[in-house]
């Protein structure tokens, strides 16, 4: 049986998804995400923070990652955002009192500061979550390698990220097996914690075993040898329109900073 050369040589070509946002160079996306994260800090208004949050949802939808992004972001935003808002609104002093009860003193200044600070944190974290949703970690590390980053650093970071994912999947498998044995794993927080504690030992033993297997497989691939390494996935050359888009974003950001300083 002959080898499928067309399939083999396909790995020499960039692995594109057909989506303009997902196919952007990881460093181009990082450049824009950094701008998006810094912009709310400079603007110092909750209106800009909310606008950036809405833009994240639009970009996630444009990338076809809306459900994945919204599911994680809404959980984070509602939890962290509401907590930060309450901490600022309930205890920050001010001149105009809206509500007072015992040690709680809600002021107009505290509410305004709480809205601004909570939306700021949620906006900054949203930029990070968006980048994680539209960029594969291995593509980002490959882009850094092309800039001269050591391949050992890339492997350590990728392995750490993948280990977190693997631990989550392994924990789910163990919990399902426990449920199949008749052990109660659902219910109150105490019940779930009681069911989770016994799986820690096999979970960590499995993680150690996986680490050893990865080390053996990397040695088999001559990873530690001082030779040029190869990649199955390649990044496409950055097109002119993408470079222009990044330049426009950066110039607009610099112009906004100048406007803020002058104004």
| Higher-confidence position of 200 and 51 | 51
What is the pLDDT, as a whole number, of residue 164?
65
Q: Is the pLDDT of residue 254 over 90?
A: yes
Q: Is the pLDDT of residue 150 over 90?
A: no
pLDDT confidence of 108, banded at 50, 70, 90?
Answer: confident
Q: Contact at 8 Å (CB) between 39 and 31?
A: no
| Higher-confidence position of 162 and 142 | 142
Backbone angles phi, psi at 36, to 5 degrees: -60, -35
Residue 257: CB partners within 8 Å, gap ≥ 6? 42
Residue 59 is assigned to a structural domain of this protein: yes
* d(C-alpha 134, C-alpha 168), whole Å: 21
The sign one gets for the Cα dihedral 51, 34, 68, 189 is negative
Q: Contact at 8 Å (CB) between 242 and 25?
A: yes
Q: What is the pTM of this model?
A: 0.75
Buried b (16+ CB within 10 A) or exposed e, 44-71: eebebbeebbebbbebbeebebeeebbe
Residue 243 is assigned to a structural domain of this protein: yes
Instruction: Give the pairing of strands 97-101 and 104-107.
Output: antiparallel
Q: Structural domain tally of the chain? A: 1
For the chain, the average pLDDT equals 80
Residue 62 is assigned to a structural domain of this protein: yes
CA 129 to chain centre: 3
pLDDT in tens, 174-197: 777 777 777 666 666 677 676 667
Mean pLDDT on 18-37: 91
What is the pLDDT, as a whole number, of residue 223?
65
Of the candidate ranges 121-130, 142-151, 194-203, the one whose mean pLDDT is the lowest? 194-203
What is the pLDDT, as a whole number, of residue 114?
86
Question: Domain limits at 93?
Answer: 14-135+233-262
Residue 219 is assigned to a structural domain of this protein: no
What is the pLDDT, as a whole number, of residue 1?
44
Q: Is the pLDDT of residue 91 over 80?
A: no
| Higher-confidence position of 59 and 2 | 59
DSSP assignment string, 9-45: HGGGS----S-TTTTS-HHHHHHHHHHHHHHHHHH--
Q: Is the pLDDT of residue 83 over 50?
A: yes
Q: What is the largest CA-CA distance in the chain?
A: 83
Mean pLDDT on 40-45: 90
Look at residues 134, 137, 149 and name the one whose alpha carbon lies nearest to residue 29: 134
User: Any bridge partners for residue 99, and if so which?
Assistant: 106
* d(C-alpha 17, C-alpha 218), whole Å: 28
pLDDT confidence of 7, banded at 50, 70, 90?
Answer: low
């Amino acid at each position: 049986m002959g080898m499928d050369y067309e399939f083999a040589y396909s790995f020499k070509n960039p692995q594109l998804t057909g989506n303009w946002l997902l196919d952007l160079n990881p460093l181009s996306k990082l450049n824009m995400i950094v701008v998006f994260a810094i912009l709310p800090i400079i603007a110092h208004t909750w209106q800009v923070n909310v606008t950036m949050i809405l833009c994240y949802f639009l970009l996630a939808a444009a990338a076809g990652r809306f459900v994945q992004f919204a599911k994680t972001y809404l959980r984070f935003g509602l939890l962290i955002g509401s907590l930060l808002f309450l901490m600022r609104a309930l205890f920050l002093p001010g001149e105009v009192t809206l509500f007072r009860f015992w040690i709680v003193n809600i002021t107009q200044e505290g509410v305004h500061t709480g809205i601004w600070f909570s939306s700021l944190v949620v906006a900054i974290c949203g930029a990070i979550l968006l980048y994680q949703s539209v960029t594969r970690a291995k593509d980002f590390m490959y882009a850094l390698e092309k800039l001269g980053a050591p391949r050992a650093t890339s492997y350590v970071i990728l392995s750490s990220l993948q280990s977190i994912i693997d631990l989550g999947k392994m924990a789910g498998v163990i919990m399902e097996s426990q449920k199949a044995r008749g052990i109660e794993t659902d219910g109150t927080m105490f019940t779930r914690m009681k069911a989770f504690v016994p799986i820690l030992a096999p979970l960590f033993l499995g993680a150690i075993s996986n680490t050893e297997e990865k080390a053996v497989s990397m040695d088999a691939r001559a990873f530690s040898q001082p030779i040029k390494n190869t990649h199955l996935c390649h990044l496409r050359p950055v097109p002119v329109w993408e470079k222009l888009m990044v330049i426009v974003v950066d110039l607009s950001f610099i112009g906004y900073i100048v406007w803020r300083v002058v104004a």
